Amino acid sequence: MLTLSNVHPTPLDVEIAIPELSPAVEQPAGEAITTLLTAVKPISSKGPDNSHVIRSNGRLISDGINCGEIIPDCYIRPPSERPKLKEIVNHGVHETLIRRMVEVAREFFTMPAEYREHLYSEDPSRVVRLSTSFNIQRENVFNWRDFLRHHCYPLEDYIDYWPTKPSDYREVASKYCTEVRALTLRLLEAISESLGLEPDFLNKVLGKHGQHMAINYYPRCPNPELTYGLPSHTDPNALTVLLQEQISGLQVLNNGHWIAVQPIPNSFVVNIGDQLQVLSNGVYKSAIHRALVNSSVSRISIPTFYCPSPDAVIEPASPLIDPDNPARYRKFTYEEYYNKFWSKSLDDKTCLDYFTVHDCQQVSKR
């Protein structure tokens, strides 16, 4: 995980810390690091004063739950599962645009529900959707998060589906997505070179490329010690560029310890995703991260997920494979991987485990 900060107002060369190349060492699977319509089902629980807290008039946490008492039972994790960077400078995205992106994101989640209820969907294949938790059709315990997610590249294919409110959302988000994509392409080139590959290797292997953006809204939670905004996971894409509001909540797993990633003004956190772990044959590791919530204020985070195109074929780069470092992952299309990721909950085994060479025959029988 890396943190990018904008020291200068104009784009300069990105300074990136490159890990030394060494044979991949397998890491065990386990802990992984980063009111609309009618409710799915009425939810009721007793508060401290024996009053009921009911989430019955909408799907989103932010639209109707009484955060002054206690969270519903369906968000409370078992006691054993409860919550218990390198910096890169000169990313080139102007601080005014960063500030405005956060502002329109917060405006979206605080405007009246009727302006956004048409966007609600539990279908992860939708190019624009508003939803809650992660995958409520698969989860036994929900996550304290609402989110808007939409595709961004090619921009002209998707912008007409984006929200029209706030009134300048499309203008701000399109500029932001374009600048973050330019930054991501520079990072991919540097990562390719760090692996001893041609500078354009990752650019080519990702096919036609894909880019998604999410706005995560973590409402104020009356009992943050009982639940997560998002539990531990890795990102399924290639590279994630995360914009955090200046409120702490992100944690990364490092040597068995959870480390808080404190927000730095006008900066980005960059996560390695599963696809880069596969392409590098394990030289780069997916960042295992999670999101906590708090009882004082709501929090916004805006990750940009840079992806292969659905038909891109992903496998370890052949120059990184030799008798001492055999391929650790099987060949697959990104569409196959993405569908598997959204078919499960974040509490299941990590998605990458389904695609390791030693596991693929066993998993294919399930």
Average pLDDT over residues 283-293: 95
Q: Is the pLDDT of residue 298 over 80?
A: yes
**Threshold 0.85, pTM exceeds:** no
Cis bond leading into 166, ω under 30°?
yes
Per-residue pLDDT at 69:
57
> pLDDT tens-digit profile of 83-141?
544 445 568 899 999 999 999 999 999 999 999 999 999 998 899 999 998 777 777 88
CA distance 360 to 355: 6
When mean pLDDT is compared across 146-155, 183-192, 237-246, 352-361, the lowest value belongs to 352-361
CA separation for the pair 183, 240 (Å, rounded): 11
**How much is the pLDDT for 179?**
96
Q: What are phi and psi of 217, to 5 degrees?
A: -120, 115
260 Cβ contact partners less than 8 Å away, ≥ 6 residues apart: 248, 250, 251
Return the structure tokens found at 84: 């218990």
More confident residue, 131 or 5: 131
Which neighbouring-strand residues pair with 218?
A: 299
- At residue 92, the pLDDT reads 86
194: pLDDT strictly greater than 70? yes
How deeply is 344 buried, as exposed, middle or buried, from its count of CB atoms within 10 A (0-12, 13-18, 19+)?
middle
Residue 77 in this model has a pLDDT that exceeds 70: no
Residues facing residue 44 across a β-bridge: 54
DSSP E strands in 11-65: the ranges are 44-46, 52-54
Q: Is 267 exposed, middle or buried (0-12, 13-18, 19+ CB in 10 A)?
A: buried
Residue-averaged pLDDT of the chain: 81
* Exposure letters 76-85 (e unless 16+ CB within 10 A, then b): bbeeeeebeb
Q: Does 230 score more than 60 pLDDT?
A: yes
Question: What's the mean pLDDT in 32-40?
Answer: 26
Other beta carbons within 10 Å of 248: 14
Kindly state the DSSP code that residue 325 receives in the 8-state scheme. B
Percent of the chain with pLDDT over 70: 73
How deeply is 194 buried, as exposed, middle or buried, from its count of CB atoms within 10 A (0-12, 13-18, 19+)?
A: middle
